[in-house]
Amino acid sequence: MSAEDHSKTYVGVLAALAVGTLLTVLISLVDMGHWGNIAVGLLIATIKASLVVMFFMHLKYEQRWWAGLVLFPLLLVMIIIGSNLADTGLNGKNRDGDLLSEPLPVIPHAGKAGPQAAHH
């Protein structure tokens, strides 16, 4: 922990988080393809999260190995997701493209789901 005055840093991080949130919404209005929107959305979220961890949570001023306490669980989560991806490619269909099961009950369409939907 540092005894320095971080007031300006905190204001800067707050501004960056606000801009990041605005960007996340604006970018979801732009059609960059299914994976493009997901990649950019998650990239911005990761940058915002890094700012919070490094400056608001003071990890930047702690011993370096403490970063492992954040990165190791994240690695485990990545392994959980990665090890299950092989099961997901068929999107609930068999290899002929037919649904594996009857659809679940649906809800009536009553509104727009998000800025991306509003855009189309």
Q: Which residues bind other proteins (CB under 8 A)?
A: 3, 5-7, 10, 13-14, 17-18, 21, 24-25, 28, 34, 37-38, 41-42, 44-45, 48-49, 52-53, 55-57, 62, 66, 69-70, 72-74, 76-77, 80-81, 84-85, 87-93, 99, 103-107, 109-117
| Of residues 96 and 106, the one with the C-beta less far from other proteins | 106
Q: Radius of gyration over alpha carbons of the chain, in Å? A: 20
Classified as helix, coil or strand, 99 is strand
Say how many C-beta atoms besides its own lie within 10 A of residue 48's C-beta. Answer: 19
| Of residues 5 and 96, the one with the C-beta less far from other proteins | 5
Phi, psi of 42 (to 5 degrees): -70, -35
DSSP letter for each residue of 7-22? HHHHHHHHHHHHHHHH
Work out how close the CB of 56 gets to other proteins at its nearest, in angstroms, rounded to a whole number: 5
